[in-house]
Structure formats: C-alpha cells, structure tokens
Amino acid sequence: MSDTLQMRKRGTLTLPKKIRDKYTLDEGDPLTLIDLGDGILISPKISVLPKLVSKIEALMDEKGVLLEELIQGIAEERAPYKKR
C-alpha cells in the first residue's frame, strides 16, 4: 500500500487515518525516518513491550498460571543470585 502525503508549514505531515488506525498511532508516538539516499522511509517505532505482554498473557492462560504465581516464581528464581 502506498499513499501520498503533503508537507505543510514547518515540515508537518498528516498520516492517513487508515494508517494511524492500522498501527494504532496517536499524537506524540515516535516514528523512524530512514534516508535511503534516493528517498525516505517512515516507519512506526513499535514498542516490543505490548507484544511481549500478549505472549506472556497467552502462556499464563495456556498453563493456568495466575499473575501472583508468576511473580512469586520469578522472585524464587532470582533469590539465589541476590545472596551472592
């Protein structure tokens, strides 16, 4: 998919709503601009955290683990390293 953007005063660009919705972009979200030499590429800088949280939640549901149990398990795994 491609779309045409128009630069406005002070370099402002407006991303089409369908793109903002597809990537759940809101005002203030970071974007990465890459200079390709013969053009530019603009890409949303998507955080890995939401994907990681989704994977953890899916695993917890699959294994029937509660958040409290997960936190306790992490604390138990870290305990030997704290004593060093």
The pLDDT, as a whole number, for residue 52 is: 80
Write out the two tokens for 5. 């953007």
84: pLDDT strictly greater than 70: no
Indicate the pTM of the whole model.
Answer: 0.49
Residue 37 or 80, more confident? 37
Give pLDDT tens digits for 55-72.
Answer: 899 999 999 999 999 899
Write out the two tokens for 47. 């955080």
Cβ-defined contacts of 58-62 (< 8 Å, 24+)? none
Q: What percent of the chain has pLDDT over 90?
A: 25
